[in-house]
Amino acid sequence: MSRSAGVDIDQLTRDERLELLERIWESLSHEPDGIPLTDEQRVELENRLDRLDHEGPVGVPWEQVRDEMTRS
């Protein structure tokens, strides 16, 4: 990987580095297939999906939250 991208990370402030990191992460999120999972991550994801299928959805539906908020 080349460091000649025009940015000297060491010269950035903490906030600037965080902003850059967010921008990089955002750009990667547009290509989810480009971020491969490890075998361990794939197994954990499958376990979580299986648990969700078995236990059902978790949380409160938005309509219920909205109704409770508007009652007060």
pLDDT tens, 32-66? 787 889 999 999 999 999 998 998 878 888 999 99
CA 31 to each of CA 24, 25, 35, 62: distance values in angstroms, whole numbers, following the listed order: 12, 10, 7, 29
Predicted pLDDT of residue 4: 53
Are 61 and 67 spatial neighbours (Cβ–Cβ below 8 Å)? no
User: What domain count does the chain have?
Assistant: 1
Identify whether 64 is part of a domain: no
Identify whether 3 is part of a domain: no
Identify whether 70 is part of a domain: no
Q: Which two tokens stand for residue 46?
A: 């499958």
Identify whether 66 is part of a domain: no
- Which residues span the domain enclosing 51? 12-55
Identify whether 20 is part of a domain: yes
Could you give the CA distance from residue 8 to residue 29 in angstroms, rounded to a whole number? 24
Instruction: Give the global pTM.
Output: 0.44
Q: pLDDT band for 30, please (50, 70, 90 cuts).
A: confident
Q: How many CB atoms lie within 10 A of CB 17?
A: 14
Q: Is 60 helix (H, G, I), strand (E, B) or coil?
A: coil
